[in-house]
Amino acid sequence: MDFYQRFLRPIFFALDAEQAHDAVMSLLGAGSQYPGLLRLTTGKPMPKSPQCHRLVAGIEFRQPIGLAAGMDKNGIALPAWEALGFGFMEIGTITALPQPGNPKPRLFRYPEQQALINRLGFNNEGVESVATRLEGLRSEGRWPRIPVGLNIGKSKVTPSEKAHQDYLDSFKRLHALGDYYVINVSSPNTPGLRDLQSTEALSRIIRTLRDWEGTPRRPLFVKVSPDLAEEDLIAIVQLAEEEQLAGLIATNTTLDHLSIPTGRDQTGGLSGVPVRPRSLEALRTIRQQTQLPVIACGGISDANSAKERLNAGADLLQVYTAFIYQGPGLLRDLATSF
C-alpha cells in the first residue's frame, strides 16, 4: 500500500465525495506551481520503454495511460497531471457557457464496487475562462510536455436544435490550444444530450466544426456511451469513418446500475469497475468495424483490465475512477501491461 492509500485517501474519503474532489483539485492546482515536489511524492518514476510509445492521430504519446475527462474540468492542474505520471490528459467537459451543474449532492462513492455515480451536469467555468487559463499556461512556459485533449459538451440552456452552434463556439475558442478535441454527446447528466448521438444530429455537429475549421484539421474524437444498441454504435463508427474523424473514445458512464444495492442507488452515470464489461464490449464492436484509433475508458483498474483493452484493440487508455481509489500507484501498475 503506497503513501496515497495509507495516508491521503483516508483523509479525502472522510469528506463528502465532491468536497474531496474540490480539495484534491485545489491541492493539485497549487502543486502545479511546483511539479518537482509532486514527482517526489509519487515514489518510483513511471517506466520508460519504447514499447510504451504510441503514434495516434498524428500525435506522439510517450506512454499511453491518460487522465479521462471529468477530473480536471477547468484545466487548473495541467502541470500536476504530467508530474504524477500520466502520458496524456483530457480536460473538461467544457461548455460554451459557464454553468453550475446539477443540485448537490451529485457525486457518490461505492468503495465495495470500486465505483462512482455522478450527476454533476457539466459543472464548469465556461469556455472563455478555461481558454484564458490555458493561454496563461502557454505564455508562462508551463505547458505540459504531454498531449492535452479538450473535451467539449453542450451548454444545458442551449436547445438541442442549436447544439451544433454551441459546440462550434467552444471549438473556436479552444482551437489553438489542444492537441486533440473530443465531442461529448454521451454524458447521461445533461437532458437530451444523448439524443445527439443520432447520426443526423452528430453529423451536423461534426460538419459545422469542420466547415468552420477548413484545413489543416485538428484531431477530433467522439466519446460514445456504453449503453448504445449495437446497431447505433455501428452507425456512429461508420459516420466517424465518413467524416474522417481521428477516432473514438469508448466509453462514457453507464445508466445500468444493477451492480449497486437498491437502497444505495442514486440517479446518474456509473463509472468504475462495474462499467468494465459494457465498455469492453463497445470497444470490441468498434474494432470489428474500423481501424480508426480508439481510446479505451471505463473500468480500467489494474494491469489485467488494461491488457484486456489492449488485446481488444485499444490504442490508448484513460482512467479516472480507479485513480481516485488507488492514486498514482495505479499508473505504475497499469504500465506493467505493456
Sorted by sequence, the CB contacts under 8 Å of residue 56 that are 6+ apart come out as 246, 247, 293, 315, 316
Q: What is the CATH number of the domain that holds 91?
A: 3.20.20.70
pLDDT of residue 41: 59
pLDDT of residue 46: 65
pLDDT of residue 269: 97
pLDDT of residue 43: 54
pLDDT of residue 45: 59
**Domains identified in the chain, total number:** 1
pLDDT (tens, 9 = 90+) of the chain, 338 residues, equals: 588 999 999 999 999 999 999 999 999 999 888 777 666 556 565 666 667 899 999 999 999 999 999 999 999 999 999 999 999 999 999 999 999 999 999 999 999 999 999 999 999 999 999 999 999 999 999 999 999 999 999 999 999 999 999 999 999 999 999 999 999 999 988 988 899 999 999 999 999 999 999 988 999 999 999 999 999 999 999 999 999 999 999 999 999 999 999 999 999 999 999 999 999 999 999 999 999 999 999 999 999 999 999 999 999 999 999 999 999 999 999 988 78
Enclosing domain of residue 309:
3-335
Amino acid at 165: Q
How many other C-beta atoms lie within 10 A of the C-beta of residue 11?
Answer: 10
Burial (0-12, 13-18, 19+ Cβ within 10 Å), 222? buried
Residues recognised as catalytic: 187
Pairing mode of beta strands 65-67, 107-110: unpaired
pLDDT of residue 96: 98
pLDDT of residue 39: 64
pLDDT of residue 31: 86
pLDDT of residue 298: 97
